[in-house]
Amino acid sequence: MITFLVFAPVLVIEFQAYVLAMLGAIIHGRSTFDDRRQHGSSRAGGYLAGVRDTLRLYPAIIAVLLVVAFIEATTSWLAH
């Protein structure tokens, strides 16, 4: 039980990164299929706009995953 409590914050932060990645997928899908209202007249233009929007989100996802990897490595090293 104590081990779970030590690693619980790591899991919460890691799941947060996964939620951010799912948000990127939603943004990309909405840009692709709701293209006429948002980005232009073609699905290809909406798709490319979705790629650009998603690429702006990925630095945050990478930063969160790097932080959680450092925390996980530190807690794992301290636990052993």
User: Which one-letter amino acid corresponds to residue 36?
Assistant: R
24 or 40, which is more confident?
A: 24
Percentage of the chain modeled with pLDDT above 90: 18
The predicted pLDDT at position 9 comes to 84
pLDDT of residue 22: 93
| DSSP string of 12-41, one letter each residue | HHHHHHHHHHHHHHHHHHHHHHTHHHHT-S
State mean pLDDT over 21-33. Answer: 88
The count of C-alpha atoms lying within 13 angstroms of the C-alpha of 30, restricted to the half-sphere facing its C-beta, is: 10
